[in-house]
Structure 1
Amino acid sequence: MKSYPIYMARRSYRGSDPKKRGKINEFNRVAGRVEDYLNADLAQKADHTINTYLSYSIAHNVGEDSALVHEIVFATDCGSNGITIVKGDFDKAMQRMSSPPEKAIDGEATA
């Protein structure tokens, strides 16, 4: 499980093959877009929460190739289908998940 703010793994290539360099540059470009998307989405979430994102959903939301996004997410967290990110304190997030939601006066649940 990764922590917010998230940093997506990048790759480097020190050789002179332009085709390989282009492939690495594309990987890093998409990794940056995925990183920006996840951090922007997590910024809107409440503190002390655990959030899960599926690779195909990330790919759809950033408009990039699903296989490449899956490769990037896997390189970052080794999740087979996505990534789990904790925002804030892990123990508080787990406690928040296990406790029932509080009831407001009008009967709706509050966070």
Structure 2
Amino acid sequence: MQLPLQPRLKGYRGADPKKRRKAAEHNEMARRVVDHVNKLIANNPEPSQQYLWYEVARDLGLTVEDVESAVMYGGHHGVTVGITEESRRSLAAYKK
């Protein structure tokens, strides 16, 4: 898995303003979720980390389904990441 995590974005280029707005809202939420998880990863010194969707959902006031649909990688319940020195460098922008 490549770090930083990437959002799972929805594309809609049609003329329906309701569908366009819904896709834009999802994309904004997805970016917020991955930014949050990337910050958690960057600021955790452990070489192996696990983040459960329900915890992320609680942190951000979202549903578990929203969080699960927002992250490109991960399983049904969350994501486990192994951190290398290279991934630490790629996450530097998220470090506090």
Q: Is residue 71 of structure 2 the alignment partner of residue 68 of structure 1?
A: no
Uncovered stretches (5+) of structure 1, i.e. residues with no partner: 90-111
Question: Are the equivalent residues in 2 in contact too, given 1:4–1:88 (CA < 8 A)?
Answer: no
**Percent identity between the two aligned chains:** 33
Uncovered stretches (5+) of structure 2, i.e. residues with no partner: 86-96
Provide the secondary structure at the position in 2 that maps to 1:85. Answer: strand
Question: Are the equivalent residues in 1 in contact too, given 2:74–2:80 (CA < 8 A)?
Answer: no
**Over aligned residue pairs, what C-alpha RMSD do you find?**
2.0
Given the alignment, which residue of 70, 73, 95 partners 1:77? 73
Kindly state the Cα deviation for residue 3 of structure 1 after the two structures are TM-superposed: 3.2
Kindly state the Cα deviation for residue 78 of structure 1 after the two structures are TM-superposed: 4.9
User: 4+ residue runs of structure 1 moved beyond 6 angstroms?
Assistant: none
User: Whole-Å Cα distance in 2 between the matches of residues 65 and 80 of structure 1?
Assistant: 13
TM-score between the two structures when normalised by the length of structure 2:
0.75
Q: Please identify which structure carries the higher strand content.
A: 1
Question: Are the equivalent residues in 2 in contact too, given 1:8–1:32 (CA < 8 A)?
Answer: yes
Q: For this pair of structures, how many residues does the alignment match?
A: 86
What's the counterpart of residue 57 of structure 1?
Answer: 55
Provide the secondary structure at the position in 2 that maps to 1:84. Answer: strand
Kindly state the Cα deviation for residue 30 of structure 1 after the two structures are TM-superposed: 0.8
